Amino acid sequence: MADDRLHLQHGPIDLIIHVDASEGIRKRLYSAVEKRSRTVLEELVTEMELLKLPWNSAQSEPKGSIAKKMFGAVSDSAVFVTPMAAVAGAVADEMLETMLLEAQIPDSCLEHISRMYVNNGGDIAFWLNSGESFSIGVVDNPEIPKLNTKVNLAYESRVRGIATSGWRGRSLSLGIADAVTVLAKSATDADVAATLIANEVNVDFPGIEKRAASEVKDESDLGMIPVTVHVPDLPEDKISFALEQGAKTARKFIKAEKITAAYLSLQKQRLIIDNKSLLL
């Protein structure tokens, strides 16, 4: 623990957690979430075979609470997606729910907590008390740690989840976006939407390299589907075209009230798709 934050890591799960409250409340909630985190990986592995399958209406629903979140987030998708597209966000949501439950048993201490968040590798679930807000910064390219945009989310906002996808970093993407950051009512929903929007940011151009997902990452749920491994410098018109492909999906998600806003970045161009100009 450093700077009042809790860092938990178990296999691919890498959590940074913070509770803005007194030391006593913070320790109590951290103890609860640490205990829950020790069961997450085994719980997911138990149902991994089902979670790696492309969603279809004939599938039986999983049993674990995290797996159910993942399954529900993709259950109405009209395109190829597996519940694994929601795993990071679903884990973040589960950890936050664990702390919220602990904060209400036996006597509620929520009024003494200002804010809480769980950051799982960049996918973030957060809780705000009345009058509080949550600010985040977006970095398009992790190799160039420059703040590209920022957003301030107030208590009144519907947004309680943030997720980013793209071909860089640890993500596997069918598209070429440097980053697609999505704001939604939960981290689970944001995770799926960011993945699907980023997949659509695409254009045909010499030098874009793709390889089978299973060759890039062992046991990937994407199997032999080609994922992006290199994107050369692109002409401005190709960048604009690719971003607009992703923007079409973002607009559909906003219209369906699945997300609140999306920020799309590719090389030197960016698009913000939202209803209320949340990104400043």
- The span from the CA of 90 to the CA of 220, in Å, is 18
Helices H / strands E in the chain, number of each:
7, 12
Q: Which domain holds residue 86?
A: 1-121
Per residue of the chain (280 residues), give pLDDT as tens. Answer: 447 999 999 888 999 999 999 999 999 999 999 999 999 999 999 999 999 999 887 888 899 999 999 999 999 888 999 999 999 999 999 999 999 999 998 888 999 999 999 999 999 999 999 999 999 887 766 666 677 778 889 999 999 999 999 998 777 999 999 999 999 999 999 999 999 999 999 999 999 999 999 999 888 899 899 999 999 999 999 999 999 999 999 999 999 999 999 999 999 899 999 876 444 3
Nearest to 129 by CA among 148, 118, 116: 116
Q: Is residue 136 located within the same domain as residue 90?
A: no
Q: How many domains does the chain have?
A: 2
- Domain end position, chosen among 89, 121, 153: 121
Joined tokens for residue 32: 């609860």
Which residue, 73, 88, 121, sits at the end of a domain? 121
**Do 60 and 189 share a structural domain?**
no
**Cβ-Cβ contacts under 8 Å for 122 (sequence gap 6 or more):** 88, 163, 164, 169
Cα-based angle 250, 256, 260 (whole degrees, multiple of 5): 55
Cα 234–chain centre separation: 27
pTM > 0.85: yes or no: yes
Q: How many CB atoms neighbour CB 185 within 10 A?
A: 16
